[in-house]
Amino acid sequence: MVFSDTIFLFFFLPAVILCVKLCPRRFRNAALLLFSLLFYAWGEPIRVFLMLGVIVFNYLAGRSMERCPAATEGRTRRIVLAVAVAVNLAVLFCFKYVGGFFGLVGAAAGRPVSIPEIVLPIGISFYLLRSLSYMIDVYRGSAAPQRNILTFGAYVSFFPQLIAGPIVRYSDFKRELVSREETAALFSRGAERFIYGLGKKELLADQLGILADRLLLGETGTGSAWAGILAYALQIYFDFSGYSDMAIGLGNLFGFHCRENFDYPYLADSVTDFWRRWHISLSSWFREYVYNPLGGSRKGTGRTCLHLLIVWTLTGLWHGASVNFVLWGLYYAVLLALEKLFLRPGEEKLPGALRRLLTLLIVVFGWGLFYFADPGQWARFVGRLFGRGPDSAEALLYVRSYAAVFTAGCLGATRLPRKAIERLRMGRFAWLEIVFLAAVFLLCTASLVRDGCDPFIYFRF
């Protein structure tokens, strides 16, 4: 089940809201756990037992840390943590990477490797990172072990963030699991945020995706190739930020506050700045649990570059055991290392507008590595980007046909819509926002009824 689905919008979500709100407060986490399991089982009826196993294992591991004998507490806790991390990573490796790594070995050896196909459980990367966050936070002492398995299960399986994040760390979520204030104002804000996210997905991302696929996969010329990769850059932004908006909005409906996951990343003035704005929850997770424990940037330039290489190799692999994701991670490792070496904060010599344009071109070019799983296909695409091939009449027709949605996407990736809405709220025509939200929801519903729902891009990860 996905958020942009009429079954979710008109049946599942109203049922969850009604049942959870009618429950006594002490049973609401149990109700959220039950509905989260139903939400997951809708699309993964067998693999829901894998998630249940992850919940039970990490709950017991956390409790065992609490029960460590005082005489051997430090050593025993380290052993429990090591076992928990190893088991979680083993589950991730078996279900997400086995096929991909065998494929990489076969490609390196020049022959295909045939193994039984293992279907990737949806959302496994996200709920396992949440589980690892819990275990590390408990080990560090920044969070006490959760004694109620239903409450812990609600954290791991919370359906708004189960499939594609944001990745909520346990230390940030623990208070509201136990005690949260559910107000009408927060509920209203959540519903508004959800509708805006739905509009991003249905009215912008899905339409831009059609244009991107037709231009990137076809034998188009240079202009159309650039238009295609720009369309894909906008598609992946609105698709993923739209999901994050919906997830944050759904959390608000049930009294939870979640950190922002995007902050206008295409306005960044450096690659470092871009990764402070894009998929913030993933970037902060790797910084908190990998980069900083390795030593961060505190051990000299050489070690800093090594730490960046490790983190970004892992970031690429987190997206999948495919050559293109590894290359994509290395691409950013090199760029971030170069910025650490040569770009000092406050010493930028280029004008801000030029820095933003240069960063945008670097990021957009990088999305080509992300899009093409086959390096040979990506190399041919790069040839089209920097060649002089003519654009076909069909490609130009596609570009003209999607000019309106492309323009809307370009404007939507800036702060202009947000500023316009904020000014509208402050004036006497604030009621127009309600009309606008109703129109967006009706247009999204009409699109879903006509075309059905497309899966979110990050469901693959």
Q: What is the 3-state secondary structure (H, E, C) of the chain?
A: CCCCCHHHHHHHHHHHHHHHHHCCHHHHHHHHHHHHHHHHHHHCCCCHHHHHHHHHHHHHHHHHHHCCCHHHHHHHHHHHHHHHHHHHHHHHHHHHHHHHHHHHHHHHHCCCCCCCCCCCCCCHHHHHHHHHHHHHHHHHCCCCCCCCHHHHHHHHHCHHHHCCCCCCCHHHHHHHHHCCCCCHHHHHHHHHHHHHHHHHHHHHHHHHHHHHHHHHCCCCCHHHHHHHHHHHHHHHHHHHHHHHHHHHHHHHHCCCCCCCCCCCHHHCCCHHHHHHHCCHHHHHHHHHHHHHHHCCCCCCHHHHHHHHHHHHHHHHHHHCCCHHHHHHHHHHHHHHHHHHHHCCCCCCCCCHHHHHHHHHHHHHHHHHHHHCCCHHHHHHHHHHHCCCCCCCHHHHHHHHHCHHHHHHHHHHCCCHHHHHHHHHHHCCCCHHHHHHHHHHHHHHHHHHHHHCCCCCHHHHC
Residues serving a catalytic function are: 319
353 class by beta-carbon count within 10 Å (0-12 exposed, 13-18 middle, 19+ buried) = exposed
**Per residue of the chain (461 residues), what is the pLDDT tens digit?**
788 888 999 999 999 999 999 999 899 999 999 999 999 998 888 889 999 999 999 999 999 988 876 556 678 888 999 999 999 999 988 887 775 555 555 455 555 544 444 567 888 889 999 999 999 999 988 888 999 999 999 999 999 988 877 888 888 888 888 888 889 999 999 999 999 999 999 999 999 999 999 888 877 788 888 999 999 999 999 999 999 999 999 999 999 998 899 999 999 999 999 999 999 999 999 999 999 999 888 888 888 899 999 999 999 988 887 888 999 999 999 999 998 888 766 666 778 899 999 999 999 999 999 999 888 888 888 988 887 667 777 777 888 888 999 999 999 999 999 998 888 888 777 888 889 999 999 999 998 888 777 777 777 66
Distance of alpha carbon 166 from alpha carbon 260, whole angstroms: 8
Tokens coding 264: 């206008």
pLDDT of residue 323: 87
pLDDT of residue 115: 43
Q: How many residues does the chain have?
A: 461
> Which residue type does 372 have?
F
pLDDT of residue 364: 95
Torsion-angle region of 123 (φ positive above 0: left; ψ -120 to 50: alpha; else: beta): left
pTM of the model: 0.90
pLDDT of residue 199: 95
